[in-house]
Amino acid sequence: MDFRKLLAVCCVSALGVGCDSGAVTTESSYANDSAAQAEAAGLSHGEYVARLGNCVACHSIPEGEPLAGGLKMNVPMLGNIYTTNITPDAATGIGDYSFDDFDRAMRFGVKKDGSRMYPAMPYPSYAKMSEQDMRALYDFIMNDVAPANIPNQPSDIPGWKDMARMGMGIWNLLTMDDDPYAVDSSQSDDWNRGAYIVQSLGHCGACHTPRGLLMQEKGLDEGDSAYLSGAPLDHWSASSLNGDVNSGLGRWSEDDIAEFLGSGHNRFGTAFGTMVEVVNNSTQHMSEADLRGMAVYLKSLPPVIEVNATEWSYSNSDTEALLGLNFIESGSQIYYEYCSNCHGTNGMGYYPYQPPLAGNPVIMDPDPSSLINLTLNGSLRVIADQGPDVNDMPYFRQLLSDDEIAEVITYIRSAWGHNASGVSTAQVSEVRAATDPSRNDDIFVLRMK
């Protein structure tokens, strides 16, 4: 970027004045126009874009009005904010927003009154949206969503800390790529469509990409090796989506990825944590072509952590020990008593009802947070057209001590050929103290309108 432009933007941003540009015109193509895929999925263009962006999951709460806000979200080092009402109610929502106002908020995190949003709203990803998709989303919200007169809830951030909003213009300049997605002519149509969804509307990097010193995503596309390489998230681990052969998608085929996104299950595992809400409210509503495009793009990402790693292979010795009631390995008896009925003595589960543990990338994730959280608190259930999953992961925080949970997870991470690090009692205690299982008693499929 030209230094004079940099200096001008920094000076204006330091004064708290917005100077981001308005809508950017982009050429329509299969890659960045969702109209045809909306028709294939049986939805209007605007509703389909809203599903791709999963707007409803953040801007709605269970039993609340669709898109009326109220979900609590944490801003690191500052405190909690609550998502806003984005219904077309003029008094409490965005009913008085013009398209340019809406576009500026979506792309740059600047509200109609000029105040700045925190990037808990994933506007660094939405900046890559095409104009035709942005206009379709605006039309859907303004014309098809019911207005809800529900005031926005003030943040829990102290006033002196909330002054950080004034510097978000500089943050944008230093960390964002605010150009809409540009088609890569060297790649296939499916690859480009998948890249467009993953990088923009899907905002996959918001969870699956590690954060830097400024709490920015370390990479915004495949040009940076950190992109989608996995990241901690509220005592979960958003796993690697690159080609790492054990803890990433290296052993998954394109069909495996598309199946997981479309149903929440495949032969390697089952969606859990907030990914359940992504499947329930977003990806299962996508067209088959868009699921395939995402799969093609994700399969193109090379390994990052596990370069030249030895691919996991199954070992039967632990199965034989369990069948022989040989509990010499610490944690093996706990596994046999509490886990084997669903996941099998062989660790292979019962696809598609109970996920396998043997060979599951989550088991081999360097960060065991998800395993600890799942064991303590269980998980939400995936809901498809036929209804919710019959089987779900129960919580064991009342049945098992922190020592026992550490032992059984350590056992699972070393059994059946796994070679992942052990888990300490202190790690389990930390997650127990910081989490609440009550939210996992609810089943989320949120209305869009």
Among the residue ranges 272-281, 294-303, 419-428, 439-448, the one predicted with the least confidence is 439-448
pLDDT of residue 442 exceeding 90, the answer is: no
pLDDT at residue 26 in the model: 53
Residue 178 — pLDDT band, cuts 50, 70, 90?
Answer: confident
Domain layout of the chain by residue ranges: 1-180, 317-441
Q: Chain centroid to CA 328: how far? A: 39
Q: Region 390-394: what's the mean pLDDT? A: 84
- Mean pLDDT, all residues of the chain: 90
Q: Region 55-82: what's the mean pLDDT? A: 91
pLDDT at residue 392 in the model: 83
pLDDT of residue 220 exceeding 80, the answer is: yes
Q: Region 407-432: what's the mean pLDDT? A: 97
SS3 for the chain, per residue? CCHHHHHHHHHHHHCCCCCCCCCCCCCCCCCCCCHHHHHHHCCCHHHHHHHHHCHHHHCCCCCCCCCCCCCEEEECCCEEEECCCCCCCCCCCCCCCCHHHHHHHHHHCECCCCCECCCCCCHHHHCCCCHHHHHHHHHHHHHHCCCCCCCCCCCCCCHHHHHHHHHHHHHHHHHCCCCCCCCCCCCCHHHHHHHHHHHHHCCCHHHHCCECCCCCECCCCCCCCCCCCCEEECCEEECCCCCCCCCCCCCCCHHHHHHHHHHCEECCEECCCHHHHHHHHCHHHCCHHHHHHHHHHHHCCCCCCCCCCCCCCCCCHHHHHHHCCCCCCCCHHHHHHHCHHHHCCCCCCECCCECCCCCCCCCCCCCCHHHHHHHHHCCCCCEECCEECCCCCCCCCCCCCHHHHHHHHHHHCCHHHCCCCCCCHHHHHHHHHHCCHHHHHCCCCCCCC
pLDDT digits (tens, 9 = 90+) for 113-135: 999 999 999 999 999 999 999 99
pLDDT at residue 439 in the model: 53
Residue 179 — pLDDT band, cuts 50, 70, 90?
Answer: confident
Q: In the chain, what percentage of residues exceed pLDDT 90?
A: 75
Q: In the chain, what percentage of residues exceed pLDDT 70?
A: 92
Q: Which amino acid is at 381?
A: R
Q: Region 154-166: what's the mean pLDDT? A: 84
Residue 440 — pLDDT band, cuts 50, 70, 90?
Answer: low
Please give the class, per CATH, of domain 317-441: mainly alpha
Report the predicted TM-score, pTM, of the whole model to 2 decimal places.
0.91
pLDDT at residue 137 in the model: 98
pLDDT of residue 3 exceeding 50, the answer is: no
pLDDT at residue 14 in the model: 34
pLDDT digits (tens, 9 = 90+) for 188-209: 999 999 999 999 999 999 999 9
pLDDT of residue 15 exceeding 50, the answer is: no
pLDDT digits (tens, 9 = 90+) for 329-383: 999 999 999 999 999 999 999 998 899 999 999 999 999 999 999 999 998 888 8
